[in-house]
Amino acid sequence: MTKDKKESKVRQEWGSRLGVILAVAGSAVGLGNFLRFPVQAAQNGGGAFMIPYFIALLLVGIPLMWIEWTIGRYGGGFGHGTAPGIFHSMHQKNRFIKYFGVIGMFGPIAIFLYYCYIESWLLGYIFYSITPTYIQALKAGKIADFFGNYINVTSILSPAYIFFIITFVLNFVILYYGIRGGIERVSRIAMPVLLLLGIIMVLRVLTLGFTPDTQTPYKVVDGLGFLWNPDFNALKDMKVWLAAAGQVFFTLSVGMGVIITYASYLKKENDVVLSGLTSAATNEFVEVIIGGSIVIPAAFAFFGPEKMVEIAKGGAFSLGFITMPMILEKIPLTVVFSFLWFLLLFLAGITSSISMLQPAIAFFEDEFNTSRKKAVFIIGVVTFILMQPAIFFIGKGVVDELDFWGGTFALVLFATFEVIMFAWVFGIDKAWDEVHKGAQMEVPKIYKFILKYITPLFLIFILVGWFIQQGIPFIMMKGVDAANKPFIIGTRIGLLVLLLVLVIMVKMAWRKYKNKDIR
């Protein structure tokens, strides 16, 4: 603890360029691409959603990707892998700035607390999809009951709990092996497999054609039309903009603090422009091309437009665990495709969930000089305890609460802060030079203007609009069942404590730097 940065141990590094791109793409490609995206698109009018989506991608998503790769690599050069240290090294003059970085650890941890549990359902379903119980439930039209039973955990011996333990341990084993031996190695295998599985699923859906069981006059291409026929009217609707921008952040894993941590393990001379763009492009391919060509067109053909939108309103979980199985039941080789579907989602999930915890682990390693093993152990114990409410109180609003504070609130706030830090505090000219160090491609000049003015304004607009339209009603628990309120308040208190602990830890970590001119 008393050691200063110069004496501290050598930081880990990525093994190869492809490795880091696949790891970042692995973080980005997740359940968000296959479940959250179709739900958001369907709820917001399909083709109406895609225009704000692409605008947000170009004006905020990709810029943030470049910002995070750049400041991550920059902070890594000073031995910092998390936002508090990175912000500090970008502007040492202000000693409060590092506290804003806390949000960049808080957000991903909050998301992990529910995300890892959902991911474990997928492991459970990979297993169940080849068992007679599951198939019988499907045939009897009772898959919704099956799902209800599965997630109703009554004891630590319930199947869902056992699959949760396995998934949880798996996440930590990967993290234990570190950046290169764990995260990179897994991403290098999981990502190509995932792409292949995605393509298989798309081909299957696109060739559904006229399945005799289809009870609607619709075809798969009608579903594609729903997503791809633009509707410019929706540009006037603030709600659609909020949903589209929110989806762009969530799916790219930007505005969270995770990409900066991954980028902090780059070498100074490594390119960030082309690598950042490649990882974003990979994610977008998997989201709009693959993710957009499975659930939406299939559900459209099988259930028709009205029912599909209604299903989407039921949320991502019912889409993935009830609707998709029902569709797969109607096609030949049900068992094979069900298995592949859940395997695809599980691989997408695990490469994302590991990225959510790396910031917290890096924080211990970098700022407290803790060994990796110890850091993994500490974070393991803490997150294990914190995850229990999401498991045992499922359906009582805990998951929504975690998603709201971690996946929306923290995210938009952190993204706004990050871009202001980069373009205004660090300064756009210096920032532009930093982006281009070692770059293998030049960022189009127009982005200098975008980064300085458009991205921050867009974000502030989203932040304010979202807060008024959705934030306030959510915080006031509008329309919430009275019985769920204690769970929601409990979650909020828990999250507040987590935030405070992180703030205190940042304070403790920086005590050792006092009176030292160390970044």
Contact indicator for 244, 41 with CB cutoff of 8 Å:
no
Among the residue ranges 189-197, 230-238, 352-360, 386-394, the one whose residues contact ligand PFF (CB under 6 A): 352-360
CB of 306 to ligand PFF, least distance (A): 27
Q: Nearest approach, Cβ of 113 to ligand PFF (angstroms)?
A: 12
Judged by CB under 6 A, the stretch of 22-30, 59-67, 227-235, 457-465 that binds ligand PFF is 22-30
Q: Which is nearer to ligand PFF, 38 or 304 (CB)?
A: 38
Handedness of CA 18, 19, 20, 23 (dihedral sign): positive
What is the smallest separation between the CB atom of 356 and ligand PFF, expressed in angstroms? 4
CA distance 441 to 447: 13
Interface with ligand PFF (CB under 6 A), residue from 20, 23, 24, 28: 28
d(CA 511, CA 291): 47
Nearer Cβ to ligand PFF, position 249 or 474?
Answer: 249
Task: Identify residue 503 by its one-letter amino acid code.
Answer: V
The whole-angstrom separation of Cα 149 and Cα 143 is 10
Q: How far apart are CA 173 and CA 166, in angstroms?
A: 10
Pick the binder of ligand PFF from 352, 358, 369, 416 (CB under 6 A).
Answer: 352
| Position 319 contacts ligand PFF (CB under 6 A) | no
Compute how many residues bind ligand PFF; rule: CB under 6 A.
16
CB of 290 to ligand PFF, least distance (A): 12
CB of 194 to ligand PFF, least distance (A): 12
Residue 388: half-sphere exposure toward Cβ, Cα within 13 Å: 11
Q: Report if residue 135 touches ligand PFF, rule: CB under 6 A.
A: no
Give me the least distance between CB of 258 and ligand PFF, in Å please.
4
> How far does Cα 294 stand from its chain's mean position?
20
Q: Which residues, 6+ apart, have CB-to-CB distance to 22 below 8 Å?
A: 184, 187, 188, 191
At closest approach, how far in Å is the CB of 11 from ligand PFF?
Answer: 20
Instruction: Assign 126 to helix, strand or coil.
Output: helix
- CB of 406 vs ligand PFF, minimal distance in Å: 8
Place of tokens 């304070």: 507
When asked if residue 82 is in the footprint of ligand PFF (CB under 6 A), the reply is no
Structure tokens at 340: 């592949």
Of 403 and 434, CB closest to ligand PFF: 403
- Per-residue b or e along 301-334, where b marks 16 or more CB atoms closer than 10 Å to that residue's CB: bbbbbeebbebbeeebbbbbbbbbbbbbbbbeeb
Give the dihedral sign, CA 198/51/243/356. Answer: positive
Site membership for ligand PFF, residue 27 (CB under 6 A)? yes
Query: Which tokens hold the place of 158?
Result: 């319930």
Q: Does residue 30 belong to the site contacting ligand PFF (CB under 6 A)?
A: yes
In whole angstroms, how close is the CB of 30 to ligand PFF at the nearest point? Answer: 2
334 or 416: CB nearest ligand PFF: 416
The piece of 28-36, 235-243, 298-306, 360-368 that touches ligand PFF (CB under 6 A) is: 28-36
Tell me, what amino acid is at 134?
A: Y
User: Which residue, 83, 81, 104, is CA-closest to 11?
Assistant: 81
SS (H, E, C) 152-186: CCCCCCCHHHHHHHHHHHHHHHHHHCHHHHHHHHH
- Residue 341: how many other CB atoms lie within 10 Å: 26
Residues 33-62 that bind ligand PFF (CB under 6 A): 33
Give the span between the Cα atoms of 354 and 349, in whole angstroms: 9
Residues in region 162-191 near ligand PFF by CB under 6 A: none
Tell me whether residue 135 or residue 386 sits nearer to ligand PFF (CB atom). 386
Judged by CB under 6 A, which stretch of 31-39, 174-182, 464-472, 503-511 contacts ligand PFF? 31-39
Q: Is residue 105 at the binding interface for ligand PFF, with CB under 6 A as the rule?
A: no
Among 57, 62, 111, 360, binds ligand PFF (CB under 6 A): 111
Note whether 494 binds ligand PFF by CB under 6 A: no
Cβ-based nearer residue to ligand PFF, 32 or 75: 32
Out of 355, 383, 455, 470, point to the residue binding ligand PFF (CB under 6 A): 355
Nearest to 84 by CA among 498, 433, 414, 429: 414
Nearest-10 crossing angle of helices 410-420, 62-76: 70
Per the rule left: phi > 0, alpha: psi between -120 and 50, beta: everything else, 257 is left
- Check binding of 251 to ligand PFF (CB under 6 A): yes
Q: CB within 8 A of 336, min separation 6: which ones?
A: none
Closest approach, Cβ 501 to ligand PFF, in A, equals: 19
Q: Are 451 and 434 in contact (CB under 8 A)?
A: no
Interaction mask 257-286, ligand PFF, x per CB under 6 A: -x----------------------------
- Considering only residues 25, 31, 42, 242, which one is a binding residue for ligand PFF as defined by CB under 6 A? 31
- Burial call 446-462: b when 16+ CB within 10 Å, e when fewer: ebbebbbebbbebbeeb
Q: For residue 241, what is the DSSP state?
A: H
- The distance of closest approach from Cβ of residue 409 to ligand PFF in the complex, given in angstroms and rounded to an integer, is 13
Among 75, 101, 108, 325, binds ligand PFF (CB under 6 A): 108
Question: Which residues contribute to the site for ligand PFF (CB under 6 A)?
Answer: 27-28, 30-33, 108, 111, 250-251, 253, 256, 258, 352, 355-356
